Amino acid sequence: MTAFHPINIALFAILVITALAIARIRQLFAAAMLSGLFSLACACIFVLHDAVDVAFTEAAVGAGMTTVLFLCTLALTDSREKSTPPRRSVPAALAALLTGAALIYASADLPKFAAADTPVQQHPLTERYLRDSATEIGIPNVVTSVLASYRGYDTLGETVVIFTAAIAVLMLLGRTAHAKTSDAVMSLHTRHRVLRVVTKLLVPFILVFALYVQFHGDYGPGGGFQAGVIFASGLILYGLVFGLEAARGVAPVRVLRRLVAAGVLIYGGVGVATLVAGGAFLDYDALDPGHPATGQHLGILLVELGVGITVAAAMLMLFLSFAGRRDAR
C-alpha cells in the first residue's frame, strides 16, 4: 500500500486527540464513550498493520464489551468526577514526562518500523510459523494455528484467567435478587417500538454470525475469543432492549456458571485426551495417529469451541452481574 503513512498518521492524530480529551473531560459518561471511540480507531490501526484478528477482537471487546461495562458501572455510581487538584496532577505529569522521555530515548534501539530485516522478522520461528505451519497444521490462518496449537498451553492459561475473573466478579457482585421490571423499563419498551422490532430481527442474525466466526476461524479472521464476545453481545443487545429479565430467561446465571466451567473443561479435556492417546499435553497429532493434519483440525476445533463457550458465558455473566446489581438495590 503506497499510502500507508498518511493514513497511519491521520489515525494516530485521531487517537492522540481522543486520548487527550479523555484525560481532560470530567463527564464520565462522555469519557467512557470516547474510550469506545478510541478502541474503534485503534482497531482501524490494527487492520492497517495487518493484524486482522486483533482488530476483530479489539472492536468486539474494547469498543463493545468494555464500554458497556464502564457504562453499567457509571449507572451504578457517580457520573461526574471532581476536578483534579494540582497537588495530584503536577507530580503525575512530571512522572509521565520522565517515563516518556526514557521510553523515547530507549526507542532509538528499536528496529526500523515495518522493515523486513528486523530481529522479529529474521527469527527462525517466523519461517516455522509462516511456511511450515501450512503442512504441520494445515490451516491457512496462521494466527489460529499459533493460538490454538503451537501456543495452546498459553491459551489454556488465558482461558483460565477469564474463568477466574468471571468467578471473582460473581463473588463481588453476583447473587442478586430477581427484581420486577419497573415502569422506567416498560417505557423503553412501549415507546421505542422501532428499536424493539429491529432488535428482534437482528439478534438471530448476530448469533448465527457468531457461530460463523467461531467455525470460520481456521480460514479467515475469527475464532473462539471473537465468537464468544459476539455471541454474548447479541444477547446483551437483547437484554438491553427487552429487559434483564428476558436475557436471564434465555441465559440463566445458573446455566452460565456451568458453561464457564464447561469451556475450560473441554479445553483441558482435549489435553488429557492427547495424553491418553500417547502424545504430549495438547499435542493434537496424537488424536489421529497417522494423520496429523486431521488430528490438528479436530484438536483446534474442540479447543476453540471450549474457548468460545467460556468467553461467551463469562462475558454474559459479567454483564448480568453489573446490570443486575441495580435491580438488587
Partner 1 sequence: MLLAATLALLAAMLLALGRALLGPTLFDRILAVNSFGTKTVLFIAVSGFLAGRPHFLDIALVYALINFTGTVAVLKLTHHGEFGAAGAPEQQEGDL
Partner 2 sequence: MIASHYSYWVSMALMMIGLYVVMSHANLVKKLIGLNVFQVAVFMLYISLGKRADGTAPILDSAFAAYSHPLPHVLILTAIVVGVATTALGLALTVRIHEAYGTTDEDDALKRDSAQGEPR
Partner 3 sequence: MNVILIASDLLLGAGMLFVLTGAAGLYRLPEFFTRTHAASITDSAGAGLVLLGLLLRVEDLATGLRLLLILLFLMFTSPTASQALARSALDDGLRPLVRLGKRPR
Instruction: Tell me which stretch binds partner 1 (CB under 8 A): 128-136, 166-174, 272-280, 320-328.
Output: 320-328
Find the angle CA(284)-CA(220)-CA(314) to the nearest 5 degrees: 70
Q: Please, what sign has the CA dihedral across residues 62, 68, 73, 74?
A: positive
Specify the residue for cell string 457509571.
74
Does residue 259 belong to the site contacting partner 1 (CB under 8 A)?
Answer: no
- What 3-state class would DSSP assign to 225? helix
Of 143, 158, 199, 261, which lies in the binding site for partner 1, with binding defined by CB under 8 A? 199
Q: How many CB atoms lie within 10 A of CB 139?
A: 18
CA dist., res. 139 & res. 151, Å (int): 15
Q: At its nearest, how many Å lie between partner 2 and the CB of residue 35?
A: 5
Contact of 156 with 266, CB cutoff 8 Å:
no
258 binds partner 1, rule: CB under 8 A: no
**What crossing angle do the helices spanning 28-48 and 67-76 adopt, rounded to 10°?**
170
Residue range at the interface with partner 3 (CB under 8 A); choices 12-20, 186-194, 221-229, 285-293: 186-194
CB atoms closer than 10 angstroms to residue 247: 22
Q: Which of 156, 182, 193, 218 binds partner 1 (CB under 8 A)?
A: 182
10 binds partner 3 (CB under 8 A): no
Site string for partner 2, 24-63 (x = CB under 8 A): ----x--xx--x--xx--x--xx--xxxxxx--xx--xx-
Please state, in angstroms and rounded to a whole number, the distance separating the CA atoms of residues 267 and 148: 10
Is residue 75 part of the contact set for partner 3 (CB under 8 A)? Answer: no
| Nearest-approach distance from CB 173 to partner 1, in angstroms | 13
Site for partner 1 contains 194 (CB under 8 A): no
User: Rounded CA gap, 131 and 116, in Å?
Assistant: 16
* Nearest to partner 3 of 46, 212 (CB atom): 212
Question: Binding to partner 2 (CB under 8 A): which residues in 212-231?
Answer: 219-221, 225, 229
C-alpha gyration radius of the chain: 23
For residue 27, what are the β-bridge partners? 80
Compute the distance between CA of residue 36 and CA of residue 189 in angstroms, rounded to an integer.
26
Which of partner 1, partner 3, partner 2, none does residue 156 bind (CB under 5 to 8 Å by kind)?
Answer: none
Q: Does 77 bind partner 2 (CB under 8 A)?
A: yes
Binding to partner 2, residues 179-208 (CB under 8 A): none
Stretch that binds partner 1, among 5-13, 105-113, 288-296, 299-307 (CB under 8 A): 5-13
Identify residue 128 by its one-letter amino acid code.
Answer: R
128, 192, 200, 258: which one binds partner 3 (CB under 8 A): 192
**Residue 1 touching partner 3 (CB under 8 A):** no
Residues in contact with partner 3 by the rule CB under 8 A: 191-192, 194-195, 198, 201-202, 205
